[in-house]
């Protein structure tokens, strides 16, 4: 898994920050997006993020995931 890969959410994940349904529970299982970052450091310091994979779904919506919550559907070459 690397930046630029297309991924699909494979587990049941509920978010409350979806721009079209703010403060309401939204199930995003099956949504597809692109990995835009994998968090290993913050301001030059190493971190152990709980949800290190940042996925951009559309212009206004992105979310962090564990590596086992998403699966690669198209790898960036």
Structural domains in the chain plus CATH codes: 6-74 (2.30.30.50)
| pLDDT of 77 over the 80 cut | no
Instruction: Check if the beta carbon of residue 38 is closer than 8 Å to that of residue 53.
Output: yes
- The tokens for 32 are 């597809």
d(CA 21, CA 16) in angstroms, rounded, equals: 8
pLDDT value for 47:
85
Global confidence as pTM: 0.85
pLDDT, tens digit, 9 for 90 and up, residues 50-75: 899 999 999 999 999 999 999 999 87
Select the more confidently predicted residue: 57 or 19.
57
Distances (CA, A) of 67 to 10, 19, 72: 11, 23, 10
Backbone angles phi, psi at 53, to 5 degrees: -95, 115
């Amino acid at each position: 898994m690397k930046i630029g890969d297309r991924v699909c959410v494979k587990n049941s994940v509920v978010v409350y920050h979806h721009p079209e349904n703010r403060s309401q529970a939204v199930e995003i299982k099956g949504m597809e997006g692109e990995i835009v970052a994998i968090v290993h450091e913050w301001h030059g310091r190493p971190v152990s993020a709980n949800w290190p994979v940042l996925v951009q779904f559309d212009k206004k919506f992105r979310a962090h995931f564990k590596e086992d919550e998403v699966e690669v559907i198209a790898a960036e070459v």
